Chain A
C-alpha cells in the first residue's frame, strides 16, 4: 500500500499531534497500569504485618469474623460492610466500610487471634484507581477519551508504517543522529507493542466510556427507565431494602458454604454484607472463576442462608460478557503471572514509546522551536518525569510516614498528587526542560533503587532475601529494576545535546515517505 504524499502528511500530523497532546496522561497511565497489575502482590510490601505467615485455616478465620460481627451488629456496625477473605498474599481478614460521613474506613483482622489493626496503606489499590483517573472529577471520562486518542495514534501509526513494518521492527541505529535514534526507538517500541497497545486502548475506552457516560444513559434509552432490568442484564440485581426489623448478623460460615456449593471450583474472595443488623440482610459472595475471558462470579445468600441469586462468570447476557471480557483482557487476568509480566514489560515499552514520540517531534523542530514546541518540551519533561517521581514518592511515603499518623492513607495520596503537580509546575519554570527531566528521572530512579534497602532496614530483614516472603522479594526486585530503568532514562536524556538556536530557522520537513 503506497500512500499519497498529502495523505501521509495528514496522517503523520494527526499521529504526532494526538500523541503529543495525550502524552503525559498516557505515560502516567501506562506506568500506573504496570504497578496496578501487581496490586494484590504488593500488599505485603505496603502492609508489613501481612508478611508473616498465619497459622489459621478458613474455619478459624470465619469464626473470628463471626465474633467480630456479633460483637458489633446491633450496636455500632455500619449497614454495609465488605470483607476480603484471607489470601496467599494477604493472610489477614480485611474489613472495609463507609462511616456516616461517607469516609472510607478499613481495618485488618488477625484470623486466629482476632487482633484488629488499622489499615496502614492502600498503595496498590490507589495506583489501580489512578490508572483509570477514577479519583479525579470526571476522571473516568477523561481516561476513556485518552484511550480513544491512543487508539487513533496506534491506527495512524500502523497506516504510516505499514509498508516498512518488518524493517522497522528490528532497525535501531544508536550511533546515528539523535533524531534518527529516537525515531528508530519509537518505531521499534511501537511495532513490538502495537497489538498490546491496540488491545489496551480499545478495552480501556470501552470500560471507561461505559462506566462514565453510557451506563447512566442506557437505563433510559435501552431499558426504558427500568434500572432493575439494566442491573439484571449485567448480573448484579439490586438487593432488598432494609425492613427496620433488627436481627443478628448472617452466619458467615454458612454463607461461604452455600456459595461454594452453588459455584464449586470458584475462589470466593470477598463477602459484601448488606443491610447488616436488619432482618433483610444478605451477603454477596464475590469470586474469581478462570473461564477464558470471563472471570467474576457472585452468589447472593440471604441472612437465613438461602441462595437467592447466582451470577456465573461473564454474567447472564451478551453486554455483560462483552464488558467483562474487555476488563479481563485489559487486566491480563485470563492467564497467569507470566502474562502479567509480559503486560508489565509491554506497558513500560509503551510509556517509552510515547516519550520517544515526543522526542522525535522536538528533534524535528529543534532548529526552530515555536512557543507550542517549547511548551510541549516543558510539559513532557515535567509531566512524564513527574509520573515517575509521583510513583517513587508514594512508595517512599509508604516507608517514611509514621504508622500512627492520622489519615495516613490520605497523606500518601496527597504526596502522590503533590509531587506530580510540583513536577509539572517545575517543568514550566525550570530554565531547561532537558535538565528538569533528567533531575526527575534520576531522583525517581534513585528512590526506587534505594527502597528495598530502606524497607529491609525498617523491618530488620535481609534485603533481596529469597528465603523471606516471596511477595516482598519480588516487590524489591521489581522496584529496583524500575529504578534502574529510570536511571538509564536519565542518562539517555543527558545525552541530548543542547542546540544552538542560531544554526538555522528552518524546521526539518516531514518527508512524504520516510523511506530511509
Chain B
C-alpha cells in the first residue's frame, strides 16, 4: 500500500462506511454458505461466525481506502458478486 497523503473523508465517503460497507458485508455473509464446502450445518455456522467481524471490519476497510471512488468500487463489486450468488440460490 502506498504511504502518500490521504484525503479527509467527505460525506459520501462516510456514507459508504456507515451504510454501504455494512450492507455489502451482510450480503457477503448471506452468500458465503453457498460457496463454502461442507455440510449445511457447517455452512450456516460459517455465516453466523463471519457476519459480525465482517460487518464491523467493512467500515474500517472503507475508511482506509486510498480514495472515495475505490471505496465505492469495492462496495459495488463485492455487493454485485454476493447478489449474483444469492440470485442463483433463490432462482
User: A residues engaging B (CB < 8 A)?
Assistant: 10, 14, 145, 148, 151-152, 155, 202, 205-206, 209-210, 213-214, 217-218, 220-224, 226, 229-230, 233, 317-319, 322-323
Contacts and interface: CB of A to CB of B under 8 A. Distances in A.
Chain B, interface SS category: helix
A151 B41 contact: no
Contacts of A322: 45, 48-49
Contacts of B89: 220-221
A155 B30 contact: no
A229 B26 CA distance: 23
A229 B51 contact: no
Which of A14, A213, A319 has the most C-beta atoms of chain B within 10 angstroms of its own C-beta? A319
Given A148-B55, A151-B56, A213-B26, A218 B42 contact: no
A214 B30 contact: yes
Given A220-B89, A221-B33, A222-B33, A317 B55 contact: no
Nearest to A216: B30
Given A213-B26, A213-B30, A222 B52 contact: no
Given A220-B86, A220-B90, A319-B41, 15 more contacts: A14-B63, A155-B56, A206-B51, A209-B26, A214-B30, A218-B47, A221-B33, A221-B85, A222-B40, A223-B40, A229-B40, A230-B40, A233-B44, A319-B44, A322-B48
Interface string B12-38: 000000000010001001111110000
Interface residues of B, number: 27
Given A205-B52, A217-B30, A152 B40 contact: no
B40 A202 contact: no
A320 B44 CA distance: 10
A218 B52 contact: no
A206 B43 CA distance: 16
Which 8 A-B residue pairs are closest in the complex by CB-CB distance?
A222-B33, A222-B43, A317-B41, A222-B44, A221-B33, A221-B34, A217-B30, A319-B45
A14 B55 CA distance: 15
Contacts of A214: 29-30, 47-48, 51
B41 A318 contact: yes
Nearest to A203: B52
A223 B40 CA distance: 5
Contacts of A220: 86, 89-90
A209 B51 contact: yes
A319 B48 contact: yes
A152 B63 CA distance: 14
A221 B22 contact: no
User: In this complex, which of B31, B41, B43, B89 has the most chain A Cβ atoms within 10 angstroms of its Cβ?
Assistant: B41
Contacts of B86: 217, 220-221
A474 B90 CA distance: 52
B48 A206 contact: yes
B31 to A, nearest CB: 6
